[in-house]
Structures are given as structure tokens and as C-alpha cells.
Amino acid sequence: MSQNHKILFIFIDLELTDDLLVAQAFSFLSAGVETVTNTVSFTLHELARNQQLQDQVRGEIFASLERHGGLSYQGVAELKLLEMCLKETMRKYPATKHLLRVCTAEYDLDENLRLETGDCLVIPLSGIHNDPANFDNPEEYRPERFREAPAAGTYIPFGDGPRICLGINNFEQF
Ligand code: HEM
């Protein structure tokens, strides 16, 4: 059965009970509220500690408001320094510290390490983001790092693969 058929099969077989609907609403709320508030709070915290950076971000916002005659979608999309700050916050203080997976097929990571079906995996997202091999001087809050795209696999604040965060599109629209 192809992957698409499997997904279709699951949908067709699913009974939309009240419990299921409540669970979906709950998981959207719990997944979407604290992640965003944490990210905004830590960004404000870092900006409060760095007056120069705060002035640059404020300058960018006021220039955009002036260019567009007020708040607009396009104007927000142009706030590149603010976007880099949010990315740096999600690197240093990721909303989710680790990702969880259950292995569904045997896989050799290297010649010494084989994953067996059913193995539980804890992927240390926070450790990856704060590893000096991936980001030099990781304790330093430096949004400029994100002028360049990070190396593949070193930055996964929204997770990855088929269970990647459903909210990622809200962020990437900007
Ligand atoms: C800064 C904002 C956010 C961050 C950093 C974030 C991060 C994450 C991470 C790391 C995961 C686990 C992904 C994985 O296991 O590969 C996840 C899952 C999820 N997120 Fe977010 N999230 C954010 C905002 C949101 C918002 C706004 C929503 C809803 C509108 C949302 C809905 C979800 C849902 C439903 C899942 C579960 C997906 C699944 O298991 O298939 N998230 N998020």
C-alpha cells in the first residue's frame, strides 16, 4: 500500500467522536500557545538585555510602519532583523527540548549502531542547537547567525519529517 493510500485509509476509518474533536482542539491549543508565548517572551528578554539590538529592531519596525503607512502584511514580512531574532530565540531556547520517535523499521545509523523496530528515540533538539560544533559560542544571543541558512540538520525548532509542527507555516509566511 502506498503512503498516500495508507493516509486515506486512516481518514476513512476514523470516527469523528466528540472526544476526538475535543482532543484535537486541546492539542492545537497546548501545542500552539506556550510555544509562541515562550518564543516571544525569550525574545523580549534578550532584547531587554541588549539595548543596541533593541534599538535596531525598533528602528526596523518604525521604518516599515512609515513605508507602508501603518501595519500591513507586507510590512511585517519585511522585518528581517526581527525574523532573525525569533530564529535565534528558537535556537537558544527551543520551545520543545527534544523530539520523540518510535523506530518503524530496522536502520543502521553506522556500523556500530543499529536501530531495531520499536526502539524509542529521544532526539536532543536543545543539545543540537546549543552544540558549539553547530553554532559557535552558542550561549551568545546573536541573530546575525541567521543571515545565512544553518547547515542541514543543525536547526530543527519545529521538528522534522511527517510529524513536523503544523504551525510552521504561520511562521514561514513572514
Ligand atoms: C514558535 C512556535 C512553535 C514552535 C517552536 C513549535 C514547535 C513544535 C515542535 C518541535 C513540534 C514537534 C514536531 C516533531 O516531533 O517533529 C510541534 C508539533 C506540533 N505543533 Fe508546533 N510549534 C509552534 C507553534 C505551533 C502553533 C501556532 C500550532 C497550531 C496552530 C502548532 C501545532 C502543532 C501540532 C498540532 C503539533 C503536532 C504535530 C504532529 O504530531 O503531527 N504549533 N511543534
Q: Please report which confidence band the pLDDT of residue 15 belongs to, taking 50, 70 and 90 as the band edges.
A: confident
**pLDDT value of residue 167:** 87
Q: Please report which confidence band the pLDDT of residue 5 belongs to, taking 50, 70 and 90 as the band edges.
A: low
Cα(168) to centroid(ligand 1), Å: 7
- b/e 141-151 (16+ beta carbons within 10 angstroms → b): bbbebbeeeee
Answer yes or no: are the C-beta atoms of 143 and 47 closer than 8 Å.
no
Answer yes or no: are the C-beta atoms of 39 and 171 closer than 8 Å.
no
Dump pLDDT digits (tens) for 105-145.
999 999 999 999 999 999 999 999 999 999 999 999 999 99
Q: Count of domains in the chain?
A: 1
The residue nearest atom 9 of ligand 1, judged by CA position, is 158
Q: Would you say 103 is a known binding-site residue?
A: no
Q: Has residue 174 got a pLDDT over 90?
A: no
- Give, in order, the Cα–Cα distances in Å from 61 to each of 21, 38, 92, 174: 39, 21, 23, 14
What mean pLDDT, rounded, does the chain reach? 91
Does the pTM exceed 0.85? yes
**pLDDT value of residue 169:** 78
Distance CA 29, CA 99 (A): 19
CATH number of the domain within which 55 lies: 1.10.630.10
Answer yes or no: are the C-beta atoms of 95 and 38 closer than 8 Å.
yes
Dump pLDDT digits (tens) for 47-56.
999 999 999 9
Ligand 1 probe mutation, 35, 36, 87, most atoms within 8 A of CB: 35
Cα(69) to centroid(ligand 1), Å: 33
Cα(11) to centroid(ligand 1), Å: 21
Domain that holds residue 127: 3-172
Q: Has residue 44 got a pLDDT over 70?
A: yes
